[in-house]
Each structure stands twice: as C-alpha cells, then as structure tokens.
Amino acid sequence: MKYDVVVVGGGPAGTVTGRFAAESGAKVLIVERRNEIGVPILCGEGVSRKIDEWGMLQGKRWIASNMEGARIFSPNGTMVKLSAEMAGNETGYVVYRDIFDQELARQAVKAGVKILMNTNAIGLLKEKDKIIGVKVRQFDDEFEIEADIVVGTDGVESKVGQWAGIDTRLDPKDLETCCQYTLTNIECKEAYCDFYLGNKIAPGGYVWVFPKGKDIANVGIGVLGNLSEAGMPKKLLDEFIENNPGLKNGTPIRFLAGAVPVAKPVETVRDNLILVGDSARQVDPITGGGLTHCLEAGKIAGETIGRAVEQQQFDKETLSSYEICWKEAFGKKLKRNYMVKEIFLGFDDKTLNMLADSLKDMKFDEISTFALVKALVLKHPTLLMKLRPLMKISTDA
Amino acid sequence: MGKPKALVNKNMCLACGGCISVCPQDALLMFGGKALVKEEKCISCAICIRICPIGAISGRDVTNEI
C-alpha cells in the first residue's frame, strides 16, 4: 500500500505533523517502534501555556498542574523569580507527558492518520537516489512502505536524517544528558517551576523541580555532555536530593533518563524528506525546551506537506516553505540562544551569584535592556564586561 | 592489545538515545527498546560511555575474551 506520507516516530512532532498533513488531505502513516505512544517519558514535563492558543489538545487530563512562574536559584541560593510570561517555554503547565502524547496521537487518528505500532524503521527505500519510502521491521517481519514524502520525527537519536545524508550527529558539547525522578512524599508549597544552577550542582545544565501536585514533583538534572562522565547526572541528582531538606524524605515512584539536543539547527528539508522536532534540533539551547517548537513546526510541516500532495510536487524547493516558515517562527530565537548558551558556559559560580544578586529585586513585568543594564551597573559593575557579548546579541536581534 | 569496546548493560539502559546521538561512527542503535553497540563499527572512543547519564555503558576488554 502506498501513502502520501510516512512519518517515522509517534512523538508530538510526528503526530502533529501527521495530523495537519491529513487535515490538508494527505494519506498519512506513522510508524512507531515502541509498544505504547508516549512511553517511556523522556522529559521534564514543563510546557508553556502558549500551546493553549493552538488548540491542539482537548480536555485537561494531560495537565498535572498550573504554574505561576519560575524561580531560578544561583549557586549560593539567591533566587530570581519570573512570572510565567517572562519565564518562557518551560513554565505554564506541568504535564503528564504520556497522556499528552497520547492525546496528540488521538487527534491525529481522528484526522485520518494511521499508526503502525511496534514498527521500527531500518532504512530509507530508494529508487536510484530518490527516496520513495521506508524499510521497516515489525517483530520478525521486514517490509517496505512506499510514500512520496518521508518525515523524520525520530527524536534526538534520529537516523532518518543521516540516511538522507544530513549530518545529525551531536558533539557532546551540544547534548544535555539527563535523568529524572518522579518524587512523592515531598512538599510543594508554591506553584513554581524551580531551576538550580551551579557548576557543582549541574555542570553546563541545571537541576529542575517541577511540581505535579502538592506532594509530588518531577525532579531531574541535565548535564552538558562534554562536562559529564559515566553516570554523573544520576550521582549529582542523588546528591542534590540528599542535600535538599524539602526533597530528601521523598520516595521515587519513577526513574527515567533523557537526552536533549542543545545544538544549532540542521538542514530540515531534502527532496521527498522533512525533519521535525528533536531530530531537526528544534530545541531551545538555553532551557532545553522543545515541545512548543515541535508542535509549531509540526503544524507548518503538515500544512506544507498538504500543499505538496495537492500539487504532486515533492522536491526540496516545494518543501522548503516549511524550513522558511519555521525559521521565521522561532529559528532566529534558537540561533540567538545558542550564542547565549556559549557565553553562559563561561560563567563561574561567582558570576552566576552576582548576576542573580543584581536581578533578584527586579520586577520582570517591566523588563527592558536598559533596566537590566541599570540594575547590573548599580550592583556589580564588573559584570558588565562579562555580559558585553550578550548585549551585542540582544541589539543585533 | 585492543582498546575496550563499548557494551550496554541491557538491564540498566533506559533508552534515552543519548549514546546513539553522539556516536561518531553510527555504531549504536535502538534494538528491542535498549541501546545496542554494533561491535564491528565501534572504535573504542568511549564517548558513549561518558555520555550515559546513569552509567549503563562500560568498556569491554576484547582481549580478555576468546
């Protein structure tokens, strides 16, 4: 059976792309190697309320809790409080990612998408050099699925891009290596997503505590790959919990690992091929947040595919409107934040403490570059030198 | 004497995919819900060993095996 589109990977990027392609009239098949959509969860489970505007999810079962904002703690414990609007992508809702993913899949199926579970893509199907589908394995059977467009939504470890000649390999300095507990029997007094920074706490990353209820939270860590060692994230997370009075009596009811690309975006379009989501490195390099991007990009990809199917044109040029549109939507932000990440990595704990001390009393509803500079000059003039490259980026942007 | 090749402890692996994404040789893949090293492709660089968040990958000294 031939499809217009075969999507490799049934995460949010895949199901949203599939849904909007189907709604635009395309015949879509998603292949998913796991035996349950959304499981295992590989995520901190925080997402911006921006997703409300898109109306892609129905009901409220996927919401664990509503957050008022974020609190960032510097190495010496100085707190900077941000409202949800200021905190950006990772606060708003704390979600149950398994239910979240399954709800998106349900919407895709409602739009006419077919999903093949337990089916592992093992290569691209080609005619001479032209991509004409994928080869898959389902249990002991191997077979071919023909399609005009292959969509790679196969996550951080993407193979689809590599099979098409796009170099998606990550340098360890462009990967956050993560693990997380769901910790119960703790006290979450306030509805804030907490982030803990420090070169001893989480080198090149952070520890997060995202409350999912009054006595339960997703508590995790990300460490930058080139600063990590075998098993270091788990060791540091255990130490953090042990040393935190509010967490140390908690009991884990779930332990998971994760890997987050914090790289420059890659090429996302080839003849007959599109990449969306983590496979396309559509992740904010500062926060590691990717959910909003993959939903936004998925919608654009799906609509682009719909037009391509209508015109029966599947070449790179036709599909390029996807790349142009997602770069317009959030590509510039990702590029800028990659540069900011590089600068931040140079900050020692002392600098992070000074920065937090300068920002702790600011009201972030009236933030401006001028107000920021004023606060820094008044409190810690030496910071200005270190922040100069950041200022340059913000004026350029 | 060869350097140790990477070996995934299947009982520990949580399938995050980090090792696969950083392997310079494309020597790892997800198989049956766990990461798996294709031994013939592994060049013993140990990048995957260092990247694993939970220490589920170790070096296996091939010279000690028959």
As given in the structure block, the two tokens for residue A145 are: 């699925």
C-beta atoms of B21 and A42 within 8 A: no
Is the pLDDT at A252 greater than 80? The verdict is yes
Q: Tell if the CB–CB gap between A171 and B22 is shorter than 8 Å.
A: yes
Binned at pLDDT 50, 70 and 90, residue A364 comes out as: low
pLDDT level of residue B22 (50, 70, 90 thresholds): very high
CB contact under 8 A, B53 and A168: no
Provide mean pLDDT across the span A241-250: 95
Question: CA angle A151-A337-A217, nearest 5°?
Answer: 80
Two tokens at A150?
A: 């292959």
Average pLDDT over residues B49-66: 82
A43 CA to chain B: closest CA distance, Å?
Answer: 10
Size of interface A-B (CB pairs under 8 A): 92
The pLDDT score that the predictor gives to residue A43 is 82
pLDDT, residue A396, reads 57
Instruction: Tell which B residues from 5 to 64 touch A, by Cβ distance under 8 Å.
Output: 14-18, 20-24, 26, 29-30, 33, 47, 49-55, 57-58
pLDDT of residue A259: 97
Residue A189: predicted pLDDT = 87
Q: Is the ipTM of this complex over 0.90?
A: yes
A84 has pLDDT over 80: no
**What rounded mean pLDDT belongs to chain A?**
92
Residue A4: what pLDDT? 98
Beta-strand pair A206-213/A192-196: antiparallel
Determine, for residues A177 and B18 on separate chains, whether the beta-carbon distance falls below 8 Å. Answer: yes
Question: Closest by alpha carbon to B20, among B48, B49, B58, B53?
Answer: B48
> Going by DSSP bridges, is the β-strand pair A141-152/A273-275 parallel, antiparallel, or unpaired?
parallel
Q: pLDDT tens digits for A270-314?
A: 999 999 999 999 999 998 999 999 999 999 999 999 999 999 999
Query: Phi and psi dihedrals of A141, rounded to 5?
Result: -95, 140
Which is more confidently placed, A369 or A310?
A310
CA atoms of A294 and A9, how far apart (whole Å): 13
Confidence of residue A265 (pLDDT cuts 50, 70, 90): confident
A316 Cβ contact list (under 8 Å, min separation 6):
A269, A270, A271
Residue A42 pLDDT: 83
Higher pLDDT, A87 or A360: A360
Cβ contacts of residue A373 below 8 Å, gap of 6+? A384, A391
Picking from A136, A157, A178 by the largest number of B CB atoms within 10 A of its own CB, the best residue to mutate is: A157
Question: Which positions ≥6 away from B60 have C-beta within 8 Å?
Answer: B4, B5, B6, B7
Q: What distance in Å separates the CA atoms of residue A93 and residue A63, rounded to the nearest whole number?
A: 7
List, in order of start, the domains of chain B with CATH numbers: 5-64 (3.30.70.20)
pLDDT of A204 above 90 = yes
Place of tokens 């999810």: A57
Residue of A120, A156, A223 with shortest CB distance to B17: A156
Reported as type and span, the H/E element at residue B18 is: helix B18-22
Q: Which of A337, A236, A72, A93 is nearest to B55 (CA)?
A: A236
**pLDDT value at position A385?**
75
| pLDDT at res. A50 | 87
Contact by Cβ (8 Å): A341, A390 = no
DSSP string, A217-229: EEEEEEEEGGG--
Checking if the pLDDT of A387 tops 80, the result is: no
- A155, A179, A255 member nearest B17 (Cβ): A155
At A39, list the tokens: 């499981």
Between CA A63 and CA A366 the distance in angstroms is 29
User: A133's torsion region: left (phi>0), alpha (psi -120 to 50) or beta?
Assistant: left
Residue A81's pLDDT band, with cuts at 50, 70 and 90, is: confident
Contacts of A256 in chain B (CB under 8 A): 14, 16
Please give the biggest Cα pair distance in chain A: 68
What DSSP string describes A326-371? Answer: HIIIIIHHHHHHHHHHHHHHT--HHHHHHHHHHHTT--GGG--HHH
Interface contact flag, B16 A168, Cβ < 8 Å: no
Mean pLDDT over A71-75 rounds to 94
Q: What is the pLDDT of residue A212?
A: 95
Mean pLDDT within A255-272: 95
Q: In the predicted model, what is the mean pLDDT of residues A71-86? A: 86
Q: What is the pLDDT of residue A49?
A: 87
d(CA A218, CA A195): 12
Residue A397 has pLDDT above 60, yes or no: no
Which three-class secondary structure state does DSSP give residue A186?
Answer: coil
Q: Region A146-162: what's the mean pLDDT?
A: 97
Residue A291 bridge partners (DSSP)? none
Cβ-based contacts of B54 with chain A (< 8 Å): 179, 231, 233-234, 257
Please report the pLDDT score of residue A7 as a whole number. Answer: 98
Q: Flag whether pLDDT at A381 surpasses 70.
A: yes
Among A236-245, A305-314, A350-359, the least confident range: A350-359
* Cα separation values, A351 from A227, A266, A344, A384, Å: 19, 32, 10, 11
Which residue did the predictor score with more confidence, A382 or A302? A302
Q: Going from the N-terminus, what domains does chain A have, and what CATH number goes with each?
A: 2-65+94-169+265-338 (3.50.50.60), 172-261 (3.30.9.10), 341-396 (no CATH)
pLDDT in tens, A324-350: 999 999 999 999 889 989 988 989 999
Return the percentage of chain A with pLDDT > 90, whole number: 77
Q: Which residues of A touch B52 (CB under 8 A)?
A: 177, 230-231
Q: What is the mean pLDDT of residues A229-258?
A: 97
Cis status, amide bond into A40, omega within 30 of 0: yes
B22–A257 C-beta distance less than 8 A = no
8 Å CB contact between A134 and A31 = yes
CA distance A126 to chain B (A): 20
Of A170, A234, A258, the CB nearest to B22: A170
pLDDT above 90 for A88: no
Which region, left, alpha or beta, applies to residue B32 given φ > 0 means left and ψ of -120 to 50 means alpha? left
Q: Give mean pLDDT, residues A30-48.
A: 92
Comparing CB atoms, the residue among A157, A162, A231 nearest residue B54 is A231
Q: Tokens standing for B42? A: 């592994």
Kindly list the residues from chain B whose CB atom is less than 8 angstroms away from the CB atom of residue A159: 29
Look at residue A193 in the predicted model and tell me its pLDDT.
92
